[in-house]
Structure 1
């Protein structure tokens, strides 16, 4: 860590402050500001946070049912830096640095409720087999006009067409913002690939390069969301990765491409002969992620708003089905030959915790390889039957996850309990609120 700090100072000068960022269960970044000359406090183990900071509800409150927080005295955990994550924050005034931190348990062990540790444990399962996942994410977001109040509805930027798919003029109108986003990504080492105008009004998508550093891929998605919101806000606008900000426009998704290499660097999904279609192992992987998809839906759609993407005609895949280069499918196979043989998981919203989503997808692949579940016909096949749609009820998804053997095997029983407890608290709080729509149509009529 000392070398990371010295390299940072050599490149950027000594930071005025260092922002310590801990990723919680909802991928909200929580933490502290540290004076720029006090990194030794962090590396020396004297910076702490309540251990329950890993698992608050989206509203920010602790959830007693998790067994964390004040019910056990709300003990502290020691913050430790993640090597290689000390980066500049170029959209902030002054010399500001950020660094990702993890928290040790009160006993000094790596935290079993850290989303990063959950994914790390899954990667260890792959390493035991001599396998190494390679992943790439695609993230969609909307740019909005600034709002005066938090409950004001979103509005797209001026002169934005209702359907702007791949419209280069739309990209040019937001050139100042988008260019700064890409420059900040470069400054932070977030390896972007392409940037496009997506279908919705004011919607954009950034693709990231494939990488065998799966932890870094998750971190890239988390940090990118912070970066985009910060830069767009600096330009007097607002950005959101909310799953469905507009009822009549496409939602924001996070697509994940995944292949697996063996120790020799060979793609285990490639067929024996080119042009023969998906290999048996790739089919097993697809069958596994389809078989676990409904049980893990709350990982791919963690919030109340997320379920608006699973309504009919919502512009998003909504069932555990698959196809060959078919974007209507929940799982798409863009390539089936050679080094590029992979699956693309298209169910997740952009509002997810990337660590947990990658864990769920990789866990589903192992389930398919180990148990060889039945694989339905691809939706491209005229004989294919329509797959049962994924649910559109948040509470049902939480309950299914809480009782799921798949969830317990992939995430562990303890984390399944913590995640379900947090989501149940959010369900009870948010669905218990009476909305303005109910007052408008019911209060004076009934």
Structure 2
């Protein structure tokens, strides 16, 4: 209690007492759910007097509880006690873009399960913490940086409408400085809000698609903060876009004919002495680095349901979709599922390029680290890199949502990484989404068949 109130007092000293505190609980889909708490009631949060149903961790993408998960009203929908996460109390500056005066703070929260008195095992954030602890037990410390792609587009009248790019957007705007200049108002506010929240932004570029941008973050050995940053940034971008009368999305594939949005993860590992274990000061990638790459390749199919969690995610795995789509690797080769941009020195690392920007960052990073750890522990080998003319192309990852969910549900590596209960709940939620979202008849079916057959 006293720790949060001390942090809250320091926040009020720096930013003024907020009119409200937005309590953010990250669910399985990385949707932030929670409550608005009046600023004067911060002590209620500190005392654990604020509650949410434990099932809030695992609704489907529509926000509905899933009976087959064993959560929700089928078991009485019991509450968990909300607890704030230290260090996550941040200002929400975009609410006042345009001249408002409301003072808003945000804080990330978790829930304590009243039956166990411990943090709920439904927390995706805790799954990442458990994975990082496995590295620390070996004297290793992952170092990460993420890259996130997103689209800006004009506001829509209906949720079912597709996106329309901003005016004057070229169809191929890759690295276009004039587009950055025309979008400067929104981009400056995105960077300003990021700075206010302590997000370590690096470069910001125009990506290929019309209205598409990419943000890079600095490397950090605080893996949890790297994942928090990805979650907060997605919320921040959508908030700033709304304040400017636009929309933004990290949906994996908003346009059929333009590149999708990815979340690339750069990862290395240092030991207790701060030395990068991938650096062997020789020619080419070290055996240790290749072991880590081999582990991510060996586990990629079993964990694809984490890297591609939604129906739309699988449009990135179609031919000519501008995204890597196979468990392969290369040296500075952006067509590869895993790229090695640096083979030696402190920056020796791998880049995992499979995940869409629509992932749950906690689960995706846990899966990547889990694959790396698997490779380091087993001495996993790698095939020839894509750069080698003798390389045999790997079979593509699945473009079938149900198939990847079924494989995840029966995968021993998935169960070892996330636990039996979480895998069962995750699979149940996805099967519910598959049932609901795939039974709707699409407009293309009406166009192609209704008047012809």
For normalisation by structure 1, the TM-score amounts to 0.99
Matches within 5 A, 1:203-222: 203-222=212-231
Find runs of 4+ consecutive structure 1 residues off by over 3 angstroms.
Answer: none
Structure-2 residue corresponding to 1:73: 76
1:86-121 residue CA offsets vs partner (Å, 9 max, x unmatched) = 110001141000000001112221111100110001
Structure-2 residue corresponding to 1:104: 112
Question: 2:292 touches 2:380 (CA, 8 Å); kept in 1?
Answer: no
Q: Give the drift of 1:64.
A: 1.2
Q: SS state of the match for residue 217, structure 1? A: helix
1:139-178 residue CA offsets vs partner (Å, 9 max, x unmatched) = 0000001111111111100111000000000000000000
Distance 1:38 1:254 in 2: 37
Choose the corresponding residue for 1:315, options 322, 325, 328.
Answer: 322
Matches within 5 A, 1:56-205: 56-93=59-96, 94-107=102-115, 108-205=117-214
Structure-2 residue corresponding to 1:245: 254
Report how many aligned residue pairs link the two structures: 444
Q: Give the drift of 1:4.
A: 1.4
Question: 2:50 touches 2:82 (CA, 8 Å); kept in 1?
Answer: yes
Distance 2:114 2:206 in 1: 47
Choose the corresponding residue for 2:376, options 366, 369, 393.
Answer: 369
Structure-1 residue corresponding to 2:99: none
Q: SS state of the match for residue 33, structure 2? A: strand
Q: SS state of the match for residue 302, structure 1? A: coil
Q: SS state of the match for residue 422, structure 1? A: helix
Q: Give the drift of 1:8.
A: 1.0
Matches within 5 A, 1:275-286: 276-286=283-293
Structure-1 residue corresponding to 2:388: 381
Question: 2:252 touches 2:312 (CA, 8 Å); kept in 1?
Answer: yes
Distance 1:368 1:149 in 2: 47
Could you list the runs of 5+ residues in structure 1 that have no partner in the other structure?
Answer: none
Distance 2:448 2:268 in 1: 50
Question: 2:207 touches 2:213 (CA, 8 Å); kept in 1?
Answer: yes
Q: Give the drift of 1:373.
A: 2.9
RMSD (Å) for aligned C-alpha atoms: 0.7
1:274-297 residue CA offsets vs partner (Å, 9 max, x unmatched) = 3x1111110100000000001100
Distance 1:87 1:443 in 2: 53
Distance 2:198 2:135 in 1: 26
Matches within 5 A, 1:281-430: 281-430=288-437
Distance 2:297 2:273 in 1: 28
Could you list the runs of 5+ residues in structure 2 that have no partner in the other structure?
Answer: 97-101
Distance 1:383 1:412 in 2: 39
Distance 1:2 1:378 in 2: 53
Distance 1:88 1:373 in 2: 44
